[in-house]
Structure 1
Amino acid sequence: MENKLLPALIVGAGPVGLSTACELKQHGIDCRIIDKKPEATQTSNALGVHARSLEMWAGMGIVEQALQQGLKLQGITIYDQAIQPLITLSLEKLLPSAFPYVLSLPQSKTEQLLTQHLASYGLTVERSCSLTSLEQSKDYIIAKIKHTEGSIETINTQWLLGCDGYHSSVRDSLNIQYEGNDLKQEFIMIDAPLTWQKESNKILIFYHPSGITAVFPMVDSSRIIIEVSNDKSFNANISLTYTTFLSILQNRWPFEFSLGKERWMSHFFIHERLANHYRFDRIFLLGDAAHVHSPAGGQGMNTGMQDAYNLTWKLALVIKEQVNPSLLNTYEEERRPIAKKVLNSSNQMTKIAVLRTKIAVVLRNFLAKNVFSNKKLQQKFALQISGIANNYRHSFLSKDYVKNSCLKAGDRAPTIIKNKKFTLLIAEDCLDKEKIIRLIEINYIQLVGWQILSINNEQYTLYQLNKSYCLIRPDQYLASQGSTYEHLKDYLVRFLIQ
């Protein structure tokens, strides 16, 4: 194989690596993607796809296929030990999105979907390929990979993206610290068909005195998770069996049910880790290679795919030499604080769920029923776990030249825009619109696309344009808001070009 300079090498072909490869190819960047496993994931693993990730998939053009294969979970109900509902959340009423639900889609199907999308660009995953060494020079990386038959290939690549999970060989080779703790609670889980009389389109959680039990429905099965830290009927030194799981579930679950044959079982602890850096020169960490946390809230895979969505457009523009390479510094600046926030919130959700002392349980249940019933609190929670609340307001790339009572630079764009360039929405009553359009057409036509919106246009109202413009990033976040030619020129030169 000719040893030419490759623009990007992706290590790891889970949902994060596949998303990274798809986005780079969609931006017109050549890349290769390798994975040490001989085949794709065959089990459900990461299960829930949140609203913000579905919006990302809409931008990629694959959301309809995902919706056809998954199950829309419309809400969450939490019961106390007296089988009384403590919390009932209806996501449809809380999420301002075209996708106001959690899509229950097994990771195996997510990977199939992304693999097929990647194949449409003519790229396939190179399996049974492991990274053996890395060496960085000023202008490229020398990566050695071992193929299944034992041969060693040297790849010279401009950039390397580590999407290789919790046990990342990329992160280890860089000696980047992966700081955090392991929670002491133990859990068992099973994927199996569950038949009962309750809702099949909601996440159901039961606070049992012996530990939390949760059910996550799927199209033709259910994920059941049980905390067994203090369950004397569970012996961690003996392999988990279907009979053991069923016996524990029968003692825990308060509703009549029948459980079909298991498709997957696991016994696990919760790891919480955050890399102290996401970048080392020409190498980046994404997904579980950079952060891992409690499954509470189902945000792990989603956070990783959002890492990919954030980084790839920046990397593509740098590879094409259309922007200053310093743009890549904003990846860690924007994404690491979000991972830290997810880690903290999922940790708190887990600790609340596994409370044991009588006083703590009574207080938790009282607050859940009497305080968390507040719709504003419910919406804040829903916006957070869905990813819709995440923003980059404090990013170097976010700059407002005019005030907007609704949106700020760095906020999620309220509409889905299928454009891999920056998108400039210009109000028809913007006084400088002609000068602004000429600026784009003469100097930035490869970087920015534009639309003129009439006063009666729905987007004019959503973005509260009022004689102004709004510049939207390729990952569907607001970059800047302004009203004059000078505002836009200043932003493009100062934040992207210099």
Structure 2
Amino acid sequence: MNSADVIVVGAGPTGLALACELALAGVRCRVLERRAEEPNITRAFAVHARTLELLDARGLADEVLLHGVRVDSVAPVPGSSLDLGVLGSRYPMIFIAPQSGTERVLRARAERLGVEIVRGAEVLGIRQDDAGVRVEVGGAQPRTERARYVVGCDGAHSAVRRLIGVEFAGRQYETHILLADVRLAEPPAEAMFARTGTDGAVISVPFGDGWFRVIAWDRQRDRVPLAEPVTYDEMRDAFRRIAGSDLGMGQPRWSTRFLSERRQAARYRVGRVFLAGDAAHVHSPLGGQGMNTGIQDAMNLGWKLAAAVHGTAAPWLLDSYEGERHPVGERVLKLTDTFNRLVLGQSKVRNALQALVIRAILRFPRSRLAMAERISGIGIGYPARSGADHAWAGRRMPDLDCAGTRLYEHLRDGRFVLVTRDPFTLDGSPAVRGVRSAALSGPAMVLVRPDGYVAWASEELLTAPRTSAAIAEWCAEPVKQDRPARPRG
């Protein structure tokens, strides 16, 4: 007997987002979390535009935006400025908020949808066969659980990744990162305060509640053992040397010292076991991409796993998770590695040349937009399945006006949406909702995936039978189930 259709290992933002997607689609899902208590620290603090769009597609963005600070421009290199207002998005910003706040929103959503989150459950073994996966669970109640699929969302030191034998290739950065949460008597005028110098770099970001996250990459402190606590004087000294001021820094409520890494899993899928979030990729925190990439992994995988559980998935669908998200992970690693070398690289000549190139890019509207889209995630797209597909296939679908509502509001129940410019009667699968938008330009009809990307498009308005045949490639009729699926809600 399966204890769940899908076991998700890890109750961080990625695991919670995935559990929400599965439960929304009527999939029995259980989350196993090694930590017995909820963590009271937060490392991630940036929520980018594309992540906010995806949260909006599930009705969660407004909750996330209740607590934090909006940042409307960024400086890819010192002395530059990139206005995020160029983004064609409802959220042309970076939203600064503690990871814990985003997790609370996702956890509350998961609980409303009936997801069971089991804490103090350490995964010790994984065995899979053609029918499912056995998970050996330690802790206060050692046991064996079984599911049809397992997803490792259990972080950079993933037990799931180790147990399925997937290589985590890459390297460790040399400069220590010092983190602390403090109050500032002299807070900087800019929300994203960043300074660089010969000794490294420092950053300060507000949490919106009077506390600030201060971060230092201090070359003078590289030989300090990682286990040694970060002191108040150490952080103040780093800011004074690198930024010229400690901003009136008070005693920290929390601090840590660590080395970041640049690594990616060689594979995101082994049979019935998948990897997502930090279990699949870790990188420099410069650029604030980690939590965003993980949530986007979850949104890509969730509806595909649900289709597999319900028997509606085409044979190629589950493989498309790795095919789509592994290249995105590679690009994020390259982006954050570039930022890391620009800020912390030892070669002054190379750094100066790279900074000149980026400043030149920012001079031109098209390349400036491309950089904003890359940083924000708005520019992420997926390859078409074949050369015969429409040029829009795999693109992010914009949030069109649909006769007084928005397209992303129609995505909130996790179904596909067929958007047409002219009136159209949709026959067939209940997995698809039909809406009309006079704002649709280009194709006459577009099938939008549950994760907000284009599955299929047509330049002409097809007949209902031809449209149903095209949709069936993505939303096949379900095979006979052993039990009825839970309703969406």
- Is the TM value for this pair above 0.5? yes
Larger relative contact order, structure 1 or 2 (CA cutoff 8 Å, min sep 6) = 2
Which of 38, 41, 46 is 1:48 aligned to?
A: 46
Shift of the alpha carbon at 1:23? 1.1
What residue is the counterpart of 2:214 in the other structure? 224
Contact 2:265/2:281 (8 A) holds in 1: yes
Whole-angstrom CA distance in 1 between matches of 2:86 and 2:379: 12
Contact 1:76/1:204 (8 A) holds in 2: no
Give the letter for the 2:442 counterpart.
Q
What residue is the counterpart of 1:425 in the other structure? 419
Which of 124, 133, 136 is 2:125 aligned to?
A: 133
Whole-angstrom CA distance in 2 between matches of 1:377 and 1:428: 34
Which of 101, 120, 127 is 1:109 aligned to?
A: 101
What residue is the counterpart of 2:481 in the other structure? none
- TM-score with structure 1 setting the length: 0.87
Counting only pairs closer than 5 Å after superposition, residues 2-21 of structure 1 correspond to structure 2 as 3-21=1-19
Whole-angstrom CA distance in 2 between matches of 1:424 and 1:99: 24
**Secondary structure, counterpart of 1:144 in structure 2:** strand
**Cα deviation per residue 1:266-285 (whole Å; 9 max; x = unaligned)?**
22222111111111111111
Shift of the alpha carbon at 1:42? 0.9
Shift in CA distance, 14/256, structure 1 to aligned 2, threshold 3 Å: closer
**Secondary structure, counterpart of 1:224 in structure 2:** strand
Shift in CA distance, 79/388, structure 1 to aligned 2, threshold 3 Å: closer
**Cα deviation per residue 1:90-134 (whole Å; 9 max; x = unaligned)?**
22x222111111111111222212111111123342100111211
Give the letter for the 2:286 counterpart.
A
Shift of the alpha carbon at 1:35? 0.3
Shift of the alpha carbon at 1:158? 0.7
Cα-Cα RMSD: 2.4
Shift in CA distance, 489/285, structure 1 to aligned 2, threshold 3 Å: same
Shift of the alpha carbon at 1:365? 4.9
**Secondary structure, counterpart of 1:118 in structure 2:** helix
Residue 481 of structure 1 pairs with residue 457 of structure 2: yes
Shift of the alpha carbon at 1:12? 0.5
Give the letter for the 1:409 counterpart.
A
Counting only pairs closer than 5 Å after superposition, residues 1-150 of structure 1 correspond to structure 2 as 3-77=1-75, 86-91=79-84, 93-147=85-139, 149=140
What residue is the counterpart of 1:83 in the other structure? none
**Cα deviation per residue 1:51-70 (whole Å; 9 max; x = unaligned)?**
11111111121111111112
What residue is the counterpart of 2:202 in the other structure? 213
Residue 491 of structure 1 pairs with residue 470 of structure 2: yes
Whole-angstrom CA distance in 1 between matches of 2:452 and 2:365: 27
Whole-angstrom CA distance in 1 between matches of 2:21 and 2:474: 23
What residue is the counterpart of 1:447 in the other structure? 431
Whole-angstrom CA distance in 2 between matches of 1:15 and 1:232: 31
Residue 281 of structure 1 pairs with residue 271 of structure 2: yes
Contact 1:141/1:282 (8 A) holds in 2: yes
Shift in CA distance, 414/156, structure 1 to aligned 2, threshold 3 Å: same
**Cα deviation per residue 1:139-166 (whole Å; 9 max; x = unaligned)?**
111112123x2x2222121111111111
- TM-score with structure 2 setting the length: 0.88
**Secondary structure, counterpart of 1:389 in structure 2:** coil
Shift of the alpha carbon at 1:361? 4.7
Residue 377 of structure 1 pairs with residue 362 of structure 2: no
Contact 1:278/1:284 (8 A) holds in 2: yes
Whole-angstrom CA distance in 2 between matches of 1:78 and 1:286: 27
Counting only pairs closer than 5 Å after superposition, residues 19-418 of structure 1 correspond to structure 2 as 19-77=17-75, 86-91=79-84, 93-147=85-139, 149=140, 151-196=141-186, 198-201=188-191, 203-219=192-208, 220-229=210-219, 231=220, 235-236=224-225, 238-255=228-245, 257-369=247-359, 371-392=361-382, 394-396=383-385, 400-401=389-390, 408-415=392-399, 416-418=408-410
Whole-angstrom CA distance in 2 between matches of 1:27 and 1:39: 28
Structure 1 gap segments, 5+ residues each: 81-85
**Secondary structure, counterpart of 1:87 in structure 2:** coil
What residue is the counterpart of 2:487 in the other structure? none
Whole-angstrom CA distance in 1 between matches of 2:312 and 2:387: 19
Question: How much identity, in percent, do the aligned residues show?
Answer: 27
Whole-angstrom CA distance in 2 between matches of 1:398 and 1:497: 22
Give the letter for the 1:204 counterpart.
F
Contact 2:341/2:351 (8 A) holds in 1: no
**Secondary structure, counterpart of 2:330 in structure 1:** helix
**Cα deviation per residue 1:433-464 (whole Å; 9 max; x = unaligned)?**
4xxx3xx42x32x22111233xxx3x33xx43
Shift of the alpha carbon at 1:358? 4.2
**Secondary structure, counterpart of 1:194 in structure 2:** coil
Contact 1:19/1:114 (8 A) holds in 2: yes
Structure 2 gap segments, 5+ residues each: 400-407, 478-489
Contact 1:79/1:205 (8 A) holds in 2: no
Shift in CA distance, 191/398, structure 1 to aligned 2, threshold 3 Å: farther
**Secondary structure, counterpart of 1:257 in structure 2:** coil
Contact 1:41/1:107 (8 A) holds in 2: no
Shift in CA distance, 473/227, structure 1 to aligned 2, threshold 3 Å: same
Contact 1:421/1:474 (8 A) holds in 2: yes
Give the letter for the 2:57 counterpart.
G
Contact 1:60/1:418 (8 A) holds in 2: no
Contact 1:78/1:207 (8 A) holds in 2: no
**Secondary structure, counterpart of 1:184 in structure 2:** coil
Whole-angstrom CA distance in 1 between matches of 2:318 and 2:299: 13
Whole-angstrom CA distance in 1 between matches of 2:274 and 2:351: 42
**Secondary structure, counterpart of 1:216 in structure 2:** strand
**Secondary structure, counterpart of 2:175 in structure 1:** strand
Shift of the alpha carbon at 1:167? 0.9
Give the letter for the 1:70 counterpart.
G
Contact 2:181/2:212 (8 A) holds in 1: yes
